[in-house]
Structure 1
């Protein structure tokens, strides 16, 4: 790699590291590009050479951390294939979210249609690719957990929509700070376990229903 390329990558990494640190220390939506530049030890104008807007910086943080999380989930699935893989991966995914609530908040922001429309096309394409990669992983988990190979692709996609809805609910709960304000607070570990049970039971029940429907119309 050329020296200029190495320098560019070093600055890129320094900007993201500074942003992550600042976002943990204060509300992320109040952090300015000038503060990020100061934390990275570079000029404000240099930040804009890497990221055209603060939204692009948010997007890059989410993309890089989400890819790292996805790699960990893939490795977990590879190490523990079979029917129990779904539970293990879901619980690990929840643990990843709980370990980085700021990332969860940024993910929810980046998932908004209005936010996506403002992003430059390369970032939007990367988010689409990331979504396909997550769907591919959970498609493999469905095959392990439910013998989903016997279901048409469209039915598997419908099952994944249910998983996505549950994950979105968990993300929103973590972003809001948990259940401390409830009259009968629920511990997040218990909440994660019950949601995992719900997802797996729902997948199995819905898959059985779809198979029965297919048999009745054939």
Structure 2
């Protein structure tokens, strides 16, 4: 790699690290490019050479986090038996949310169609590819775990919608501060376990229903 390319990557990494640090200190939507430049100890114009807008900077952070999380889940699935990996993957996904709730909230913001429509084409294409990669992984995980059922790509997509709704609820619960304000608070780990049980039971029930419907239509 050329020295100029190495320097470019180093600066981009410094910008992303500085932005992440600022997001930990205050609301991410109030951080300015000028503040990012000061935190990264570079010029404001240099930030714009890497990211033409705050939306592009948000998108890069969200894409990086999502890709890293997906790679972690793929590795977890690969090294455990099918009947264990579904539960482990779901629980690890919850832990990923808990580890960095600020960036998780940013990812939710970046997932909005109105946000992505404002991005340049290369960023939009990366989000589409990321969505495809998650669907492929979920389909592989689902078919490995529910091997007794034959699920089509459309079936897997429909089941993913339900899982996504559950995950959005968990993200909202984490963002709200957990359960300390409840009359009978529950430990977050216990909550994760119960939601995981619910998701797996729902997936099994829906898979059986979909396969039963397919057989009846033959």
What TM-score, normalized to structure 2?
Answer: 0.95
Map of 1:131-210 to 2, 5 A cutoff?
131-147=131-147, 150-210=150-210
Counterparts of 1:143 and 1:83 in 2: how far apart (Å)? 11
The CA deviation string for residues 13-66 of structure 1, in whole angstroms up to 9 with x for no partner, is 000000011111122111111111011110011101100111111110011111
Map of 1:86-125 to 2, 5 A cutoff?
86-125=86-125
User: What is the Cα deviation at residue 166 of structure 1?
Assistant: 1.2
The CA deviation string for residues 48-105 of structure 1, in whole angstroms up to 9 with x for no partner, is 1100111111110011111111111111111113111100001001001100011111
Could you list the runs of 5+ residues in structure 2 that have no partner in the other structure? Answer: none
Using a 3 Å threshold, how does the CA distance of structure 1 residues 49 and 133 change in structure 2: closer, same or farther? same
User: What is the Cα deviation at residue 130 of structure 1?
Assistant: 0.8
Match of 1:18 in 2: 18
Match of 1:65 in 2: 65
SS class of match (1:52): coil
Match of 2:35 in 1: 35
After superposing the two structures, state which structure 1 stretch, 64-73 or 142-151, moved more: 142-151
Could you list the runs of 5+ residues in structure 1 that have no partner in the other structure? Answer: none
User: What is the Cα deviation at residue 133 of structure 1?
Assistant: 1.0
Contact 1:97–1:171 under 8 Å retained in 2: yes
Using a 3 Å threshold, how does the CA distance of structure 1 residues 87 and 19 change in structure 2: closer, same or farther? same
SS class of match (2:5): helix
The CA deviation string for residues 171-207 of structure 1, in whole angstroms up to 9 with x for no partner, is 2222232233333333221111111111100000011
What TM-score, normalized to structure 1?
Answer: 0.95
Using a 3 Å threshold, how does the CA distance of structure 1 residues 181 and 164 change in structure 2: closer, same or farther? same
Match of 2:130 in 1: 130
SS class of match (2:180): coil
User: What is the Cα deviation at residue 149 of structure 1?
Assistant: 5.8
| Number of residue pairs matched by the alignment | 218
User: What is the Cα deviation at residue 108 of structure 1?
Assistant: 1.1
